[in-house]
Each structure stands twice: as C-alpha cells, then as structure tokens.
Structure 1
Amino acid sequence: MATGDLSEEIRKLVKDLGKIPPELRKQLRPALKAAAEPIVTDARGRASWSMRIPGAITLSVRMGARNPGVSLRVRRAKAPHGRPYEGITGRTSLRHPVFGHRDRWVTQPTKSFLAPAAEAGMDGVLGATAAVVDQVAREQGFR
C-alpha cells in the first residue's frame, strides 16, 4: 500500500470515527489500544540505548469527535531528550556540550525510535483495527 493511500485511509477513518455512537466507542477503545501495543513495545526496544526514554513512551487512544485516534508520546518531564533524538525538531543532528565542559560542543546524529516503530507496525494495527470495526459493526446488526 502506498503511503498516500494509507494516509487517505487514515483520514477517512478519523472522519468516520466521529460518527460512531458512544457505546461502540467504548468497545473500540480497548481493542485499538491492544492493536497498537506492539508498536509501543517496538519503540521501547528501539530506544533501549536510553535509560529514560523507554519508560517515558506512552500510548493514548482518543475517541472524541474532534480528534480521534491513537498516539504515541514521549513524556517530556520524564525524558526531555526524547524529542531532539527522535528528530521531531526537523533536524538530522543535535548539538550539545560535552559533560563537564561547557566550552566544548559535539554534533550527534538523531536516533529515531518512534517513527520506525510506527511504520513497521502500521499494517498490523490497520488490520487489527479493521477486524475490530467489522466485529463491532456485526454485533450492532450491520452487514
């Protein structure tokens, strides 16, 4: 599946999620969380070079009408270096002083851990999501 097709499918699903009745959302939330949990595990493994980042990675599922979806985050309070290492700032490298020497700076490449994990697990999550949506729809009498 091409990336453009995938993003269009996700946009359509997000738009359609706003139309789902509240009782269906309650059934979908735990299933979506379970489907995305392998991505969290993968991201934690990819960030195992850090002592703080793996424990700061969280998964949230929102089913509100305005912004439904599944998101992975790195809590800034627990791992403030997670965002620069992921490359979210738009840079491919980061600069920082050498420990104990404020006058010596080094350039270090970013080590993306969230994006590769999300990309690697996307097909599994989409498949599991489609299966859950189909199951819930059948339980509610849809064909």
Structure 2
Amino acid sequence: MAGDEINLGEALAGNAVRRLIRDVGRLPDDLRKRLRPAMREAAQPVLADARRRASWSTRIPAALRLATSFTRRQAGVSIVASQKRAPHARPYEGITGRDNFRHPVFGNREEWVEQKTRPFIGPAVDLHGRRVVAAVNKTVDEAAREAGFKRT
C-alpha cells in the first residue's frame, strides 16, 4: 500500500484465501493472476455502494479503490482511500469507533469543533459482505481445484 493511502475496509473474503496460503505457502503467480480479478469483480458492489453512500463528499468517492492482498496477515480484498485525495475520509468513516470527531475550524488550531461521523464503507460491507465472501470462496475453491489441490 502506498504511503498516501489508508485502508478503511476490513479485508473482505479473506478466510478462504488465508486458508489456502496457510496450506500451500506463497500462492503461485498464475493462481494469483486468476484470483485477483475475480476478487475485485466480487467486491465491486461494495465499492459502488460505498461511493454512493459517500456522495455527499466531492472527493471521497473518487478516492476509494479496491486493493487485493495475498499475505498471511491480510488476505482478501479491501477498500482503500487515498489520504492525499481525501484526508477527511478516515474521520468521517469513524474507524475509531466513536460517533464524533474533532477538528480545527479552517485550520485554526485555536478553535475546534465536534462533528458527527458519516460511515460509508461499514454499511456497504454489512449489506454486500456475505455475497462477496461467498463469491470469493467459490473462486478460491475452483482455482485451487484446477491447480491440483484436493479438498480434505
């Protein structure tokens, strides 16, 4: 992940991918090439919904993108926001768990205001997450089977 990006969404559909990585180690390149577009396609409804929910902002929707990962720690597909393009995305999503956040008024550090969060990724994941997980798990199973792995 580039330095100007923040990962806002938990990795979606990572269980099957993590399980496969745990069983075989580093995934072969051809398997990654097959899985990456399928994972991105499965997660498109979540990204579209998150962008729609953030449409009150002129910058957040365009700053959101999907990122795929095949590491043991974070396998799956995540929604990432460019911190450079939308530095306000993180506080508005409310990833700290609070309903409010504080910020200076127009950069004036002498005057601070409290503002309510407006989550856009969490609700999109809640709505579409199960379908994404099912689609990615199916793709992982098919790709693993075609690569010669057998179900135990």
TM-score normalised by the chain length of structure 2: 0.74
Q: 1:95 to 1:135 in 2, by over 3 A?
A: same
Residue in 1 that maps onto 2:143: 136
The AA in structure 2 aligned to 1:34 is: E
Structure 1 position 96 matched with structure 2 position 96 = no
Q: In angstroms, what is the RMSD of aligned CA positions?
A: 2.8
Which position in structure 2 is the counterpart of 1:45? 52
Deviates more, 1:126-135 or 1:36-45: 126-135
Identity value in percent: 46
Where does the alignment leave 5 or more consecutive residues of structure 2 unmatched?
1-10
Give the aligned partner of residue 18 of structure 2. Answer: 14
- The higher radius of gyration belongs to 1
Counterpart-to-counterpart distance in 2, 1:104 and 1:52: 24
Deviations 1:19-39 (A, max 9, x none): 243321211111011111111
The question of whether the paired residues in 2 share the 8 Å contact of 1:92 and 1:109 is answered with: yes
SS at match of 2:66: strand
- Verify the 8 A CA contact 1:85 1:111 in the aligned structure 2: yes
Per-residue CA shift, 1:93-122, capped at 9, x if unaligned? 022345598765432210111111112111
Contact 1:56 1:75 in 2 (8 A): yes
* Partners of 2:138 and 2:61 in 1: CA distance: 29
- Structure with greater contact order relative to length (CA < 8 Å, sep ≥ 6): 2
- Match in the other structure for 1:35: 42
Distance 1:142 1:97, change over 3 A: closer
Structure whose residues are more often helix by fraction: 1
1:113-138 superposed Cα distances (whole Å, 9 cap, x missing partner) = 11111121111111111221232234
Q: Is the 8 A contact 1:29 1:63 kept in 2?
A: no
Query: Counterpart of 1:96 in 2: which secondary structure?
Result: strand
Call closer, same or farther: CA 1:99–1:135 in 2, change over 3 Å. Answer: same
